[in-house]
Structure 1
Amino acid sequence: MARTHILGFPRVGAHRELKFAQEAFWRGESDEAALRGVAKDLRNRHWTLQRSAGLDFVTVGDFAYYDQMLNLSALLGALPARFGFTPSTLTLSQYYELARGNTAQPAMEMTKWFDTNYHYLVPELGSQTTFDGGVDWFFDEIDEALARNLPVKPVLVGPVTYLYLSKTHESGFDRLSLLPALIARYAAILEQLRRRGIEWVQLDEPALCLDLEPQWLDAFAIAYDNLGACGVNVMLATYFDTAADKARLVAKLPVHGIHIDLVRAPQQLDVWRAVLPAPTVLSVGVIDGRNIWRADLRKIVRSLETLKTELGDRLWIAPSCSLLHVPVSLEAERKLDASVKSWLAFATEKLSELNVIARALNDGQPAVEQQLAAADAALDARRSSGAVVNPLVQKRVGAVTDDMAERKSGFAERNIIQRQSLRLPALPTTTIGSFPQTPAIRQTRAAFKRGDIGALDYLERIRAEIETAVRRQEALGLDVLVHGEAERNDMVEYFGEQLWGYAFTENGWVQSYGSRCVKPPIIYGDIYRPEPMTVDTTRYAQSLTERLMKGMLTGPVTMLQWSFVRDDQPRSTTALQLALAIRSEVSDLEKAGIRVIQIDEPAFREGLPLRKSDWAHYLEWAVRVFKISASAVADETQIHTHMCYSEFNDILPSIAAMDADVITIETSRSAMELLDGFGEFDYPNEIGPGVYDIHSPRVPSVEAIQRLLERACEVIPAERLWVNPDCGLKTRGWPETEAALANMVEAAKALRAKLAIEALSESAVPG
């Protein structure tokens, strides 16, 4: 009998229950017991869903109060020494300080989980790191599920992936030197599982889908030669790409099961079939864990029938990866277009799809013919829908030429023109775009959405918020202002709501990090901009001030990456449609007198394929669509872009090829470390390295910011530097925002004065 399981389930709750419980705890409005109570309810609810769908296992250990990598660090006892916390007595308050920082320490570094929009907290390891054990939360959750007589399959990030994704700040320190101690700690964990009667444990090793150096490949043999003999069956899980090139290596490991992603890399199945040892289970990820379209169940069943005959009970059916990356359920979607809704499957619906596939394989297709026929009908309806293809868009895409991706002049010439036109000081100060989304702002948007207030009342309230943001920025002394984005619910959803080809959910929430949830829009058809989206608002903001006002847009790659994207045409084609829509908006902003326009691309690095052999194709079209979106303006108009929480050094030539006049990036958590690559590459355009972490409530001092800026000046010439926070300020409150920005402006002024004195001193030295 083919068995069914999942690699993980969304933890925030169908209505973001975990988010609200976290934030109440952070504000001091509830205690730890209340937060733990909400968490327990969510876990039990999600286990019940899995059992109700007929899955053979419930997955335990996929829950986290903030992040699964932080959870694992807490379990291993590998906490950053700079915080001074005792791992075994770590409290939830201390746990959150690791994630969010405190008055003494900045938060742990955060970056993207492979090529997803989920952010994990990067473990900090060094020569003093020990893995002596920490909190028992993981085992508490297992005991919780066992007490319900559930068939438990615990899950942890595997030791090699954990070590590979970690960082060290010690020069010359080799993280692999920690492998023996790390393996010993994992062995101790597996021993505790064995004592509890656990049959299977899932160890996630997505690093196997990367291009790995020989020493990291050797680490798998070292690790699993030990862990495979611990008395618990080990399911080694790979996902997000193919691991076929490591198949022979993995097949020799003493593990008991292997999971592969057949959604992202269906071609790898034949390789694994050829090398899979006779006793080993093969878990096939055939349901898309990262997108929300209904599966072609009949096609999947047919593709697995021969494999089922070959493997029998050794065949397991699963999603491609954890369902963390999709919303919880379609049940709460009351307003979504009925046709579009019928094409979708969120996490809960995907559990049912797994059940249908397994029953078809185990009992024969006639046993589930009704469900298979319903899936067929939904797929046929989607393919034949007239809402998918827009002739206006097809015509415009066909008219795209290469010169549409080029500015009139090169950066060097544009830079001279812009300096004369914009007349900004050295080290100009700005922000990334959004300002605090206060309760009043959210209430106004909600009231308008419900119909409680009319369009004119809504406009007046939003304009009042814009004027507040502008006046506060003027008082702070910022050089380039933003309107604050009070009218925007989300940087992708806001634009998607004004474009044809998009659909939207009410409760399609997905965790991005911690309590930050996003509601990705759904691209189901061709993208078209029927009218300007931001011009009136930006023009109004500019009318309030003599200072420069930035127009704020989301770029085509990020619009693509942070949406659920149609799977019936190449992603590059959809990205080009988005680029043409943004290009029209950029042109209209310029016509309205906006001389600085920011096209945010925080997801640019995220879209990079895991394998370097696939990079060139992606980077070619990603750079091209950004340039198409940005290149319809005169030399006098300054184009900015923003990227955050990613490693850029390996794609700097492509970032330079985007040819934005100014790029702003996140660098504060890494103490400007990310900037080093830009300096070594000799990045030619202007750059604003973030000088403080907006994801932490910590307000940095003037001196701390100035130190970071001075560090930046060692890498990038001061005349090409901007001063800005790491990211938008949407999630912060006004008091901390104003305090941090005031310090930022003061630090910029102090450094300008210092540099001017140094320049004067140097000019006075006799030659």
Structure 2
Amino acid sequence: MTIAAACLGFPHEAQHGDVAAAVEDYRAGRISAADLIDLGRRARAAAWQRQRQAGIEVIPCNDFSFAGQLLDTSIMLGAVPERFRAAGEPGSLDLYVAMAGGFLEGEGAALPTVERGPGRARWFDSDHQRIVPEVSADQHFSLSTSNVLDAFNQAKALGYHCRPVILGPVTFLHLARSREPDVEPLSLLHRLLPVYAELLLQLKLAGADWVQIDEPVLVLDSSPAVRAALRTTYWALAGRGAPKIMLASYFGAIGDNLDAALGLPVAGLHLDLVAAPGQLAQVMRGGRLDLVLSLGVVDGRDGEPAHLSAILDQLEPLVGKVTVQIAPSCSLAHAPVEEGLPAGARLVAAMQRLDEVATLRTALRSGRGRVQDYLQANAAVVAARRAASGVTDQPISNQIGESANSDATSRSSPLWKRIAPVD
């Protein structure tokens, strides 16, 4: 299959109540560990079902998190600061919740209150907060949880062949901080790579043929040390019985790191073409026709509909030249919630983006005639929103991913699809 519809990540909190609220309930002792684990299992299953129903063929797993990808990765790798170790066994919910923010005193959880949680910072240029990983000079890494494998096996048992998502080792160390000022976290890479190799081998043995490794560090102005770390990492991890690697970057252009990325022995590369549409031509000039290109042409962080006909104008010349996956620009966990919308609005926005992805896939495979009604409705909505924002004296741009910058909303549009909960 040379054209497929893909998703990099999906919001899980809407269909089974607020995930963050459930974590708070567990922290306060109002629900059990079994209750929280069951909520996660149901939320994952519902997300996979929704994506399949939307026509998505490359469905992610291990994109669900109670408190964020960085915290999940820290605990998975055994990067637990000493002050948290009394909160619970490695990989336990008690340890996880303690690192996510500590336990409340006197509310049912017979566990120590952590004096100070990890620092927090913005996740790149998004509005999401991340918990900063902490490492030390004597840091020992080990595969301390089976969460990635468990998610893949849960999906497989339900009939979904998913692509596991993990945060890349270079981005993890780049975002980490050391408690010793003279320790550079990237210097610990040689200790970390065997853990990633072990994880990839486990996934391969379980039946995973692809894995998505997120390295958003690629969109930063990386130093020679980061580029060297990327080369070391992917020459060590690719091949040798591992699943094929889809290297994913988002929230910007790969830019000066593009040559380094194209030189890595990975099987696929995801590009955020909403943030940087021009990098597609750069990649094509790079000559890696063997790469599967995941093209993030639908804005994963914007509630506005994409201009699908304009996107098709840009993508149709690629048909037959390279293998492509049509995808949102980033994980749909970043989909916005507009003020005044009911609970579940992020889920609705995410499903609209997936409708657009599936429509683009169908048009590229079978021609625009197969989805002409959808394309006409989409063009009308985009034009109306541009008019509402006062942009009436110029045609709609044909830049990939551009949409109207309007606060106006149109709930009556057939593109704004509301969906029933999945039990």
Determine if the TM-score, normalized by the shorter chain, exceeds 0.5: yes
After TM superposition, the structure 1 stretch with the greater mean CA deviation from structure 2, 189-198 or 269-278, is 269-278
Which position in structure 2 is the counterpart of 1:144? 154
Can you list the C-alpha shifts for 1:456-501, whole angstroms capped at 9, x where unaligned? Answer: xxxxxxxxxxxxxxxxxxxxxxxxxxxxxxxxxxxxxxxxxxxxxx
Return the structure number with greater helix share. Answer: 1
Which position in structure 1 is the counterpart of 2:122? 112
How many Å apart are 1:303 and its aligned residue? 0.9
Aligned partner of 2:279 among 258, 268, 274:
268
Aligned partner of 1:248 among 220, 242, 259:
259
How many Å apart are 1:18 and its aligned residue? 1.5
How many Å apart are 1:16 and its aligned residue? 4.0
SS at match of 1:263: coil
Which position in structure 1 is the counterpart of 2:327? 318
Which position in structure 2 is the counterpart of 1:234? 245
Q: Determine the C-alpha separation between the residues in 1 that align with 2:342 and 2:183.
A: 51
Whether contact under 8 Å (2:76, 2:91) holds in the other structure is no
Q: How does 1:503-542 map to 2 (within 5 A)?
A: 524=407
SS at match of 1:212: coil
What amino acid is the match of 1:151?
H
How many Å apart are 1:15 and its aligned residue? 6.8
CA 1:369–1:123: 2 relative to 1, 3 Å: same
Whether contact under 8 Å (1:10, 1:328) holds in the other structure is no
Structure 2 residue 23 is the aligned partner of structure 1 residue 13: no
Q: How does 1:28-47 map to 2 (within 5 A)?
A: 28-47=29-48
Q: Determine the C-alpha separation between the residues in 2 that align with 1:523 and 1:15.
A: 31
CA 1:15–1:293: 2 relative to 1, 3 Å: farther
What amino acid is the match of 1:294?
P
Can you list the C-alpha shifts for 1:26-68, whole angstroms capped at 9, x where unaligned? Answer: 2211101111111111111111111111111211011111111
Aligned partner of 1:363 among 352, 362, 366:
366
SS at match of 1:309: coil
Structure 2 residue 297 is the aligned partner of structure 1 residue 286: yes
Whether contact under 8 Å (2:271, 2:295) holds in the other structure is yes
CA 1:174–1:382: 2 relative to 1, 3 Å: closer
What amino acid is the match of 1:239?
Y
Can you list the C-alpha shifts for 1:270-300, whole angstroms capped at 9, x where unaligned? Answer: 1111114232111110000111101111111
SS at match of 2:181: coil
> Greater relative contact order: 1 or 2 (C-alpha under 8 angstroms, separation 6 or more)?
2
SS at match of 2:177: coil
Can you list the C-alpha shifts for 1:116-163, whole angstroms capped at 9, x where unaligned? Answer: 110111110011211122121222111100111212100011110001
How many Å apart are 1:169 and its aligned residue? 1.2
Q: Structure 1 regions of 5+ residues with no counterpart?
A: 337-343, 391-521, 526-767
Q: CA RMSD in A?
A: 2.3
Q: TM-score, normalised by structure 1?
A: 0.48
How many Å apart are 1:261 and its aligned residue? 0.5
Aligned partner of 1:153 among 160, 163, 179:
163
Q: How does 1:506-655 map to 2 (within 5 A)?
A: 524=407
What amino acid is the match of 1:213?
S
What amino acid is the match of 1:190?
L
CA 1:264–1:175: 2 relative to 1, 3 Å: same
SS at match of 1:151: coil
Q: Determine the C-alpha separation between the residues in 2 that align with 1:328 and 1:148.
A: 30
SS at match of 2:320: helix
How many Å apart are 1:309 and its aligned residue? 3.0
Q: Determine the C-alpha separation between the residues in 2 that align with 1:276 and 1:321.
A: 24
Which position in structure 2 is the counterpart of 1:135? 145
How many Å apart are 1:345 and its aligned residue? 7.0
Whether contact under 8 Å (1:60, 1:142) holds in the other structure is yes
Aligned partner of 1:177 among 155, 169, 187:
187
Which position in structure 2 is the counterpart of 1:190? 200
How many Å apart are 1:104 and its aligned residue? 4.3
What amino acid is the match of 1:253?
L
SS at match of 1:236: strand
Q: Determine the C-alpha separation between the residues in 2 that align with 1:280 and 1:70.
A: 31
Can you list the C-alpha shifts for 1:377-420, whole angstroms capped at 9, x where unaligned? Answer: 111222333xx349xxxxxxxxxxxxxxxxxxxxxxxxxxxxxx
Q: What count of residue pairs does the alignment treat as equivalent?
A: 381
Q: Structure 2 regions of 5+ residues with no counterpart?
A: 104-112, 392-404, 409-423
Q: How does 1:746-757 map to 2 (within 5 A)?
A: none
Can you list the C-alpha shifts for 1:558-611, whole angstroms capped at 9, x where unaligned? Answer: xxxxxxxxxxxxxxxxxxxxxxxxxxxxxxxxxxxxxxxxxxxxxxxxxxxxxx
Q: Determine the C-alpha separation between the residues in 1 that align with 2:407 and 2:169.
A: 39
How many Å apart are 1:19 and its aligned residue? 2.8
Which position in structure 2 is the counterpart of 1:486? none
What amino acid is the match of 1:323?
L
Whether contact under 8 Å (1:79, 1:85) holds in the other structure is no
Q: Determine the C-alpha separation between the residues in 1 that align with 2:272 and 2:265.
A: 21
Q: Determine the C-alpha separation between the residues in 2 that align with 1:151 and 1:201.
A: 11
How many Å apart are 1:352 and its aligned residue? 0.8
Q: TM-score, normalised by structure 2?
A: 0.85
Structure 2 residue 133 is the aligned partner of structure 1 residue 123: yes
Q: Determine the C-alpha separation between the residues in 2 that align with 1:246 and 1:14.
A: 39
Aligned partner of 1:377 among 365, 380, 383:
380
Q: Determine the C-alpha separation between the residues in 1 that align with 2:60 and 2:88.
A: 25
Q: How does 1:723-762 map to 2 (within 5 A)?
A: none
Structure 2 residue 83 is the aligned partner of structure 1 residue 82: yes
Whether contact under 8 Å (1:77, 1:88) holds in the other structure is no
Structure 2 residue 64 is the aligned partner of structure 1 residue 63: yes
Q: Determine the C-alpha separation between the residues in 1 that align with 2:360 and 2:123.
A: 29
CA 1:121–1:378: 2 relative to 1, 3 Å: same
Whether contact under 8 Å (2:247, 2:269) holds in the other structure is yes
